[in-house]
Structures are given as structure tokens and as C-alpha cells.
């Protein structure tokens, strides 16, 4: 029954029923998604996918963002979806560690461009795709994640199928079949974290979800009870689960509103420390610093205790590098995690003065930072909610700045301004082409 | 360590080390696979996949068997693999209910044709691909299957990746990465049984495995410990498992030799009853039959107690229809499961005389059949091992007959003879083209 009722909810929720604040949040999510996708689009991970898909198809249907060329819809969904997760800089539903946009937005862009679908329909497909995947994640988290599944792909595939299903105007029966096909293609092991295969997961989930809807559209049959069946998704993929969470308060509570944007290009556990080190800049120049003590929950150090990172990527797992570079450069974006930055003598000198202290009493998302200067002066900064948390979200201005930083190597200033402006009124555009022509 | 040692075994096992009897069994498996693939190639399930892939790529790289046209390698692997499982008539590793050829053979045919790879190399890739998937299945069965995974796809993806990896001449490191990519793409819910999505599973597993090897060839990174890692395949997909079974007696015991071929187009539980009813033909004409009692294990009736099947497909789950049609037509192939056959008054008249009796004392693979005639005569037939079991395997002649029946609507007599003859000496052919040109 859960799957059937979910399908009814999806099909019967019109654009007009979507609250303004949800639409606003969706437009921010899409802007953020375009930014992280373009930011990583020249990464080696993408190069390999480009090569392989070149040999499989010469169809030029929809755009690879930031690459100025087109591919067939399934390849484009794979590649754009993968690119958007390479930096681990995409949006996050904090309650389930699910990154909602990366499997769904590539499908919206692929079908939107191919069929030139009105932007309001695209927003509806994006919002409902995200809503479904996040509600299913609520139902299986944390059990599903603890078993070892990468929830962004293993559950994200449902979101991709729903978005595609809406854009292909599937009826109830077809939408149920699409969910069945999506659920049976669920995949993604957390063992792959730290390799190219991690970002491949949401890309492939986008592709699998899109394929599911394409098959259902043509009459392909699958199960209509994929969520609740004895050998269906929840029972097989999640030892404990509560499927009531899929339907509860539909249309009243929107999970997409709980979607947070990361201001910094590293794990969220380090964000309070970054905020703190940036705040401490006003009290001392780097050469005046004797020590920066960072009192954090022990969990933070479990993940980020790397004292001498050898690469920029390792720097993301180092509270020493991250604290130092944030103090020096007032930021922790991809620029601050380039290989040369972890080898820079100035950063190294300062990171040796970072002194993290584990304290069970600190909440995981907080930090107490104490700056001690050579002249004896001390300053404290307490971060209660880091930038990018739900309590202290990134403003539109901050999102625009993040977007600009991510895109500046690929797009010129005018293009960047145009994309920001157009995504801000995406629902009023006559076509998604107005955005894509700037990319 | 298991994954690393497995990779060494794969890469270091040469063609010369493969025993003759394994090579013979591989050639039979491939002939059987071609037959079941061509037999279903005009099914609606295949039509839909053909349509969708047509829109995605116009590349003409390798042949869709029995369709006289070509597609890109990934689409061909998907379509040929799906077709081969539509009739549930492909080969079976009885200990794990894994159908080894359907995810592996399509990859061998796709790369073999694209690069015109010598047939001996193709046999090696097929054998090692099957060996790896069946050994992994041994390690996770029955736990993995009981959770609800369709083992033919969820484990078959490893076999597909290995076969592709061998044909692409991956080195140890690349082969490990290919296994990692395959494992993370493992999928397939048993909930989908009875729908088009069931045969889609091995097709998609073939495609996922091939993609894994293509990515690894280009340097895509994944985990090198996919089987044994804390959040790797075995721990995530199978609550209990014994990974020692992956390596034990490598090169001495060949799982592929335990691969059985089905003579009849229905579940194996009905095969003893079919053998029995065919044997009883010599004792009576249909109109002389008063009753045919079939004493079977209760499990057989759990699966096949459908008294009045409405479609040919339902006939496969009816011991009544199956016993009657086997008596009438001396066979239980696809022909005997056409819709008109279950509605034929002659079959209906006889199926009402089939009287199955559940008996805990009967082994699951046996039957005691008792024919009672109107004239008072009775005849017993006891089937200890049904045709197609490991103890009573199909002969080459029977396999050739099965192949002929499956292909007769698509190929002419001469083509059929040629394929049988060529597959019988596949290792001596100068090219796989010699087979494909007949299809």
C-alpha cells in the first residue's frame, strides 16, 4: 500500500500546491548543483566517463554542463551527476546524510533540455523527486546507511525515477513500475568512499532512475509494491525501517526545506572550526599566533586528525591544515585544498600551532576556539551553529559567492552573473535553454 | 586479501590450464545460451529495450543475436543478456540457483565480436567469469538469496566484469578495480520475479560488469578489497558468508562443471513429473487414462498447484497442465506453454485426471507416478533423477534438439546445423564471426 499511496501523492501534487518557500529552496538547490557540477567538470573522473561514452554513442541530445558539448540523455545524466559529487560540495539533508540534488537534478536537466519542458514543470519534478528520495531515506535511516549503503545513490535512484516519471508524464501504473525498476537497481557501497567510484554513485543512480522511467513509459513491467514487499526494497536493503515516514504529513512538511548547503569544501564536521578560525583573524596576524586551541567533540578528531596531509584531498581530513588555511585565507573552498596549499611553508607553520582538544561535552556541530598570542593576549570564539547549518543557513549572497568561486575557471564573469540571475527567477523563464546557453 | 588473491588467480590462469572437460562444458553452455537468447529475441521485453536504446545510440558495433542488426557494446550486452533469461530456460548452478551464462556470455560475445578476439581467449574469459561468480555465490549462498537478492544479477555482475577484464587484458590492479566497480553496482530484488524486470536483471548485470571493466581499463579508481572490506560486498549484501569458498581448490574443482541444463521450459521442481508422464505414454493412449497420480514432495505443490491456469505462463506453475501436456506432446518446451495450449479441450480433459499427492517421504527431485487405466490396468514409473540433473545430465544430442526447438522460428535448418557444429568446435574456429554470421 505504501508504494501505491506514494504514487498517488506524486501524481496528484500539482505545481500550484508547492509552497513558495519550497520553490525558493529548490531554485537555490539547483543553483548550488550547477555550481558544484561545473566546478568539477574538468576532473579526471569526468574525462574517463567522457571517453567511454564517446565510444558508445555519437548522439548529441543534451549538454554536459561547462563542457560545451552534448551527449545522449543517459550519458549526460551519468556525467553531470558524477561531476556534481566529485568535490563532496553538494547539498545535504543533514538528518540522513543524503545529498538530494546529485541524483535528481541531472535527470531534470537532461529531459528538460531534450524536450524543452516548461521550467515550472521542471521545478515540480525536481521538488517531488527530492521529496520522495528524502522521505524514503527517512524511512530506512540509519539502519540502511549503517549496513554500508551509500544512501545518496541507493535511495537517490528513486528520486531520479520520480523526476523522470513526472517529466515523461507517466500515469499511476507506469509510475509504480518506474519505482519498481528503480528500487531493484538500487546500489552503492560505502567502501568506495575516497575513490572515483564515490561520485560515480549518484551519477549512475541518476542514469538508472532515468532508465527506469523510460522503460516504464514503454510498458515494461516490474513490481508495484517495491517499497513494502517481503522481498522489496525496505526489507532487503534495511534491517530496520519505518515506511510510515514515507507518507507522513505529505504536502505539509517538505523535506527539501531541510536541505543544507555547504560553504566549505570539506566534511561538515570541520565547518564550526572553519567559522571559528575565520572569526579569529580579526584578533591577530598569522605571525602573532602562538596557538589556536580548538575544543571539539571526539568524533571530529576521529575523522580529521591527519597532522601532515600530503595532498589537497588529505587536507580535507586534517583539522590542522583546515584551521590554518581558513585563518590565512578566510575560506575553505577547493582553492584552499589544492596540493600546493598543503605544501606551502606559511600554511605548515601555522598548522603546527593548531591544537585540537577532544571534549565529550562539546556537541558535534560546535567548537570553542581559543587564540593565544605571543604577546600574552587571548581571545575566545564559540560557534554554536556553523554556517550552512539549518539554524545558520547560507544566505543567497553567500550561495552566489560559492557559485562564482566554483565556476570562475570555466565561465566568464558575465555568464556567471547571468546564470545566478536566471536561476533566481527560474520559474519565470520561457525555457531552460536560457540557462543552458550560458553554460 | 581475498579479492587480491582472487585477482591473481584470474590473471594467472592460462587457457592451457583449463581441463578439457571444462572446455567441453563451456562450449555446451554457450550453445545453450545462444539457443535461449534467440528463442526469446522477439519477445516484447526485448522490443522495449531495442526501442529505448535506438534513441540513445546509432552505433552499430555488435550483433543482437537473431535480430540481424547491431548495437553499441553496452546495449548489446543488456539486450542479449535479458533475452537469454526471459524463458527461465537458461543454465543453472543447482547449489546456488545461479544462472551463470546469462550475465557472462553476452559480454564475451560483445567484446569478442567488437575486437574479433580469438575463440580460445573467449572461452577462457567465459570460463573464468563463470568460475568467479559461482565461487562468490558459494560464499554468500543461501544467506544472500534469502535476504531477497536475485543472485544471478547481484553476483553475476562479478562474472561479467571478470570476463570483460580478461578480454580487455586488464592488469592485476585494474582487475581489482573492475571487481570493486562491479561489486558496488550489484543489484536485483527477487520481488521482481514474474515481471519483465526479472530477465532485465542479468542483462543489466552484464552491462554493469562490462562498464566496470571499461572504466578500470581507463584508470578509474575504486576499492581493491570489495569482497572482504567492512563495508564491502559480503558484509553488506549477505548477513552470513564464508569467503574462503571463493579461493578453495582453485584450478582443481571447477564450479562450471556443476552447471546443469534444463530440458523443460518450467521450474526444475516439475522436471521429474514431466519425465514420468512422458514415460507413461507407452502404456496408454490419452483416452484410456482414468488417473495419473503423482506422488511428490509437498514443496513441489507449494509452487505448482495451480489447477486452472489462464495463460501459458501460469501453465508453468501448474503440475496439472504440465503433466497433461507432457503426456500428450512428449515435451514441455515453450511450445507446450503457449496460451492456446492451456485452453485446448484435450489438455483440459487430461489435466483433470492428474492427481498430485504430497508426501514428505519423497525427495524434492523425485516422483512416483501411477497410471490407472479405465480397463483396470495400472503402471508405475519412478523417477530418481530427472533429466537435466547432474546425475542424469542432458546429452549433447538432447542439447542440440533443445537448441533446434528454440531457434526454429528465427533460423533456418541449415543455420541451426551450422551453429551447433561450430559451437561444438568453437575453440578451433578462426573467429567468432563464423558463428555470428549464422545468427
The 3-state secondary structure of chain A reads CHHHHHHHHHHHCCHHHCCHHHHHHHHHHHHHHHHHHHHCCCCHHHHHHHHHHHHHCCCCCEEECCCCEEECHHHHHHHHHHHCCCCCCCCEECCCCECCHHHHHHHHHHHHHHHCCCHHHHHHHHHHHHHHHHHHHHHHCCHHHHHCECHHHHCHHHHHHHHHHHHCCCCHHHHHHHHHHHHHCCCCEHHHCCCCHHHHHHHHHHHHHHHHHHHHHCCCCCCCCCCCCCCCHHHHHCCCCCCHHHHCCCCCCCHHHHEECCCCCCCHHHHHHHHHHHHHHHHCCHHHEEEEEEEECHHHHHHHECCCCCCHHHHCCEHHHHHHHHHHHCCCCHHHHCHHHHHCHHHHHHHCCEEEEECCCCCCCCEEEEEEECCCCEEEEEECCCCCCCCCCCCHHHHHHHHHHHHCCCCCHHHHHHHHHHHHCHHHCCCCHHHHCCC
pLDDT tens digits along A32-77: 999 999 999 999 999 999 999 999 999 999 999 999 899 999 999 9
CB A37 within 8 A of CB A80: yes
CA distance A39 to A70: 18
Smallest Cβ–Cβ distance between A58 and the set B59, B195, B220 belongs to B59
Specify the pLDDT at position B337: 94
Specify the pLDDT at position A304: 93
Specify the pLDDT at position A303: 86
Torsion (CA) A219, A221, A226, A229 in degrees, nearest 10: 140
**Inter-chain residue contact A56 with B74, CB threshold 8 Å:** yes
**pLDDT-based confidence at residue B268 (cuts at 50, 70, 90):** confident
Instruction: Give the mean pLDDT of chain A.
Output: 96
C-alpha cell at B142: 543461501
**pLDDT-based confidence at residue A24 (cuts at 50, 70, 90):** very high
Within 10 Å of residue A81's Cβ, how many Cβ atoms?
A: 34
User: Mean pLDDT, to the nearest integer, of B212-218?
Assistant: 98
User: Mean pLDDT, to the nearest integer, of B184-188?
Assistant: 98
Domain extent listing, chain B: 2-261+395-436, 268-383
Q: Which residues of chain B are within 8 Å of residue A192 when distances are taken between CB atoms?
A: 180, 184, 222-223
CB pairs under 8 A between A and B: 155
Smallest Cβ–Cβ distance between A223 and the set B48, B183, B192 belongs to B192
Q: Which residues of chain B are within 8 Å of residue A74 when distances are taken between CB atoms?
A: 56
Specify the pLDDT at position A313: 86
User: Mean pLDDT, to the nearest integer, of B51-69?
Assistant: 96
Task: Kindly tell me if the per-residue pLDDT of A205 is higher than 90.
Answer: yes
> What's the per-residue H, E or C state across chain B?
CHHHHHHHHHHHCCHHHCCHHHHHHHHHHHHHHHHHHHHCCCCHHHHHHHHHHHHHCCCCCEEECCCCEEECHHHHHHHHHHHHHHCCCCCEECCCCECCHHHHHHHHHHHHHHHCCCHHHHHHHHHHHHHHHHHHHHHHCCHHHHHCECHHHHCHHHHHHHHHHHHCCCCHHHHHHHHHHHHHCCCCEHHHCCCCHHHHHHHHHHHHHHHHHHHHHCCCCCCCCCCCCCCCHHHHHCCCCCCHHHHCCCCCCCHHHHEECCCCCCCHHHHHHHHHHHHHHHHCCHHHEEEEEEEECHHHHHHHECCCCCCHHHHCCEHHHHHHHHHHHCCCCHHHHCHHHHHCHHHHHHHCCEEEEECCCCCCCCEEEEEEECCCCEEEEEECCCCCCCCCCCCHHHHHHHHHHHHCCCCCHHHHHHHHHHHHCHHHCCCCHHHHCCC
Between residues B428 and B303, the one the model is more confident about = B428
Q: What is the CATH architecture assignment of B2-261+395-436?
A: Orthogonal Bundle (1.10)
C-alpha cell at B221: 579508481
pLDDT tens digits along B292-339: 999 999 989 988 999 999 999 899 989 999 999 999 999 999 899 999
Interface test with A, best of B82, B142, B152, B191 (most A CBs within 10 A): B191
Interface membership of B52 toward A (CB under 8 Å): yes
Q: Which residues of chain A are within 8 Å of residue B221 when distances are taken between CB atoms?
A: 195-197
Interface membership of B223 toward A (CB under 8 Å): yes
Smallest Cβ–Cβ distance between A191 and the set B188, B190, B229 belongs to B229
CA-nearest residue to B148 within chain A is: A231
Smallest Cβ–Cβ distance between B186 and the set A52, A187, A211 belongs to A187
Q: Which residues of chain B are within 8 Å of residue A231 when distances are taken between CB atoms?
A: 148, 189-191
Residue among B270, B298, B302, B288 at smallest CA distance from B374 = B288
CA-nearest residue to B143 within chain A is: A236
pLDDT tens digits along A325-376: 999 999 999 899 999 999 999 999 999 999 999 999 998 889 999 999 999 9
**pLDDT-based confidence at residue B71 (cuts at 50, 70, 90):** very high
**Inter-chain residue contact B191 with A225, CB threshold 8 Å:** yes
> What's the per-residue H, E or C state across A125-187?
HHHHHHHHHHHHHHHHCCHHHHHCECHHHHCHHHHHHHHHHHHCCCCHHHHHHHHHHHHHCCC
Exposure class string for A354-378: b at 16+ Cβ within 10 A, else e: bebeeeeebeebbbbbbbbeeeeee
Specify the pLDDT at position B194: 86
Interface test with A, best of B78, B197, B208 (most A CBs within 10 A): B197
CB B312 within 8 A of CB B339: yes
User: pTM of the predicted model, to two decimals?
Assistant: 0.95
Interface membership of B54 toward A (CB under 8 Å): no
CA-nearest residue to B198 within chain A is: A222
Q: Which residues of chain B are within 8 Å of residue A191 when distances are taken between CB atoms?
A: 180, 184, 223, 225-226, 229-232, 236
Specify the pLDDT at position B70: 98
CA-nearest residue to A212 within chain B is: B197
Specify the pLDDT at position B204: 98
Task: Kindly tell me if the per-residue pLDDT of A167 is higher than 90.
Answer: yes
**pLDDT-based confidence at residue A302 (cuts at 50, 70, 90):** confident
Interface membership of A221 toward B (CB under 8 Å): yes
Q: Are strands A289-296 and A367-373 parallel, antiparallel or unpaired?
A: antiparallel
CA distance B324 to B51: 39
What's the half-sphere exposure (Cβ side, CA atoms, 13 Å) at B340?
A: 1
CB B354 within 8 A of CB B319: yes
Interface test with A, best of B185, B199, B224, B240 (most A CBs within 10 A): B185
CB B143 within 8 A of CB B241: yes
CA distance B437 to B439: 6
Give the sign of the dihedral formed by CA B282, CA B284, CA B289, CA B290. negative
Task: Calculate the CA B188 to chain-centre distance.
Answer: 16
ipTM for the whole complex: 0.94
Specify the pLDDT at position A344: 97
**pLDDT-based confidence at residue A194 (cuts at 50, 70, 90):** confident
The interface residues of chain A toward chain B in range 142-171, judged by CB-CB distance below 8 A, are 147-149
> CA dist A424 to A130, A396, A414, B132, Å?
19, 9, 15, 53
Smallest Cβ–Cβ distance between A231 and the set B56, B190, B221 belongs to B190
Domain B268-383: CATH superfamily is 2-methylcitrate dehydratase PrpD (3.30.1330.120)
The interface residues of chain B toward chain A in range 76-95, judged by CB-CB distance below 8 A, are none
Amino acid at each position: 500500500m505504501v508504494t501505491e499511496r506514494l504514487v498517488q501523492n506524486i501524481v496528484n501534487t500539482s505545481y500550484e500546491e508547492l509552497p513558495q518557500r519550497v520553490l525558493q529552496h529548490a531554485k537555490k538547490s539547483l543553483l548550488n548543483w550547477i555550481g558544484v557540477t561545473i566546478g568539477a567538470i574538468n576532473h579526471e573522473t569526468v574525462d574517463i566517463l567522457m571517453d567511454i561514452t564517446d565510444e558508445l554513442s555519437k548522439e548529441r541530445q543534451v549538454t554536459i554542463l561547462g563542457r560545451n558539448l552534448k551527449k545522449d540523455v543517459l550519458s549526460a545524466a551519468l556525467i553531470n551527476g558524477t561531476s556534481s559529487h566529485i568535490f563532496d560540495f553538494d547539498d545535504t539533508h543533514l538528518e540522513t546524510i543524503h545529498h538530494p540534488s546529485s541524483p535528481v537534478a541531472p535527470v531534470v536537466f537532461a529531459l528538460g533540455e531534450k524536450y524543452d519542458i516548461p521550467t515550472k514543470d521542471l521545478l515540480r519534478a525536481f521538488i517531488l523527486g527530492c521529496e520522495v528520495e528524502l522521505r524514503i531515506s527517512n524511512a530506512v535511516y540509519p539502519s540502511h546507511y549503517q549496513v554500508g549503503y551509500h544512501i545518496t545513490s541507493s535511495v537517490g535512484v528513486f528520486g531520479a525515477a520520480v523526476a523522470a516519471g513526472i517529466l515523461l508524464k507517466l500515469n499511476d501504473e507506469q509510475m509504480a513500475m518506474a519505482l519498481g525498476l528503480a528500487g531493484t537497481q538500487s546500489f552503492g557501497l560505502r567502501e568506495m568512499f575516497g575513490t572515483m567510484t564515490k561520485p560515480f554513485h549518484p551519477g549512475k543512480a541518476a542514469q538508472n532512475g532515468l532508465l527506469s522511467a523510460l522503460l516504464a513509459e514503454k510498458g515494461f513491467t516490474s513490481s508495484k509494491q517495491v517499497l513494502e514487499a517481503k522481498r522489496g526494497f525496505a526489507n532487503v536493503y534495511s534491517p530496520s525501517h519505518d515506511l510510515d515516514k514515507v507518507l507522513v504529513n505529505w504536502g505539509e512538511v517538505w523535506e527539501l526545506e531541510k536541505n543544507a548547503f555547504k560553504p566549505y569544501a570539506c566534511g561538515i564536521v570541520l565547518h564550526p572550526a572553519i567559522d571559528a578560525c575565520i572569526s579569529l583573524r580579526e584578533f591577530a596576524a598569522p605571525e602573532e599566533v602562538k596557538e589556536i586551541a580548538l575544543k571539539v567533540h571526539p568524533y571530529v578528531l576521529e575523522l580529521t586528525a591527519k597532522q601532515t596531509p600530503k595532498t589537497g584531498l588529505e587536507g580535507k581530513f586534517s583539522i590542522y591544515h583546515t584551521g590554518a588555511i581558513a585563518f590565512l585565507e578566510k575560506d575553505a573552498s577547493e582553492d584552499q585544498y589544492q596540493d600546493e596549499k598543503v605544501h606551502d611553508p606559511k600554511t605548515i607553520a601555522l598548522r603546527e600551532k593548531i591544537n585540537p582538544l577532544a571534549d565529550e561535552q562539546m556537541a558535534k556541530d560546535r567548537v570553542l576556539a581559543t587564540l593565544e598570542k605571543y604577546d600574552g593576549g587571548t581571545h575566545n570564539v564559540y560557534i554554536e551553529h556553523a554556517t550552512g547549518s539549518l539554524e545558520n543557513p547560507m544566505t543567497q549572497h553567500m550561495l552566489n559567492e560559492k557559485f562564482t568561486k566554483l565556476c570562475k575557471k570555466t565561465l566568464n564573469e558575465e555568464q556567471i552573473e547571468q546564470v545566478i540571475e536566471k536561476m533566481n527567477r527560474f520559474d519565470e523563464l520561457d525555457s531552460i535553454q536560457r540557462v543552458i546557453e550560458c553554460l
